[in-house]
Amino acid sequence: MSKITAKQAGHKNIPAFLDMIAYAEGTSTSRYSKDDGYDIVVFGKNSPRTFSDYSKHPNVLVTVRDEVRSPATGQVVTKALKSTAAGRYQILKRYADAYTTTLKLPDFGPLSQDAIAIRMLKEQGAIPLIEAGDFAGAVKKVSNIWASLPGDAYGQRTAHSPKLAELEEVYRKAGGSLATDPVQKVAKAGKEDTEEGTC
């Protein structure tokens, strides 16, 4: 469960959406995590799997996959992929540094990771959709950021990657609601009570 509260986030659907991203990225369900995915380093050949120093982004360059060449032609069939992704939302080092400065964050701890993820959602224009309960629309907006989501631009999804319906179920179980839910109207009506804590 994300550490940020619905009040701090500005709407109850936002922490639920964060939980969905963590599930899709495989961090919150990782058997290696001791902190609900906040301590995960992207998996790969040289990955330490986790980190414990939250004072800053761990900045471990992991080889996610090697370059593959055709035995017949020698041409590159699959490009090598390296990444510094870390934390519950698999944030790259360069983005962590930029957002830490912009948001004046004290560290790369759980609340800071939540704040960075929310800022990324805002920048992609997904927050209004999340608040309105347009789950599919919000996922589409941010699939260019998180490779685990349907419609990703990285080509990293596999046959085992979670489908939209599965992710929606995770989102619902985390307390998220959809525009089609009768309770969504109540959530909208009560939004003024939580506006104070918007990131």
Catalytic choice (25, 67, 168, 196): 25
Cβ–Cβ < 8 Å for 33, 110 = no
Short-list 172, 149, 176, CA closest to 161? 149
Task: Specify whether 25 is catalytic.
Answer: yes
Query: H/E/C letters for each residue in the chain?
Result: CCCCCHHHHCCCHHHHHHHHHHHHHCCCCCCCCCCCCCCEECCCCCCCCECCCCCCCCCCCEEEECCEECCCCCCEEECCEEECCECCCCECHHHHHHHHHHCCCCCCCHHHHHHHHHHHHHHCCCHHHHHHCCHHHHHHHHCCCCCCCCCCCCCCCCCCCCCHHHHHHHHHHCCCCCCCCCHHHHHHHCHHHCHHHCC
How long a stretch of residues is the chain? Answer: 199
Active site residues: 25
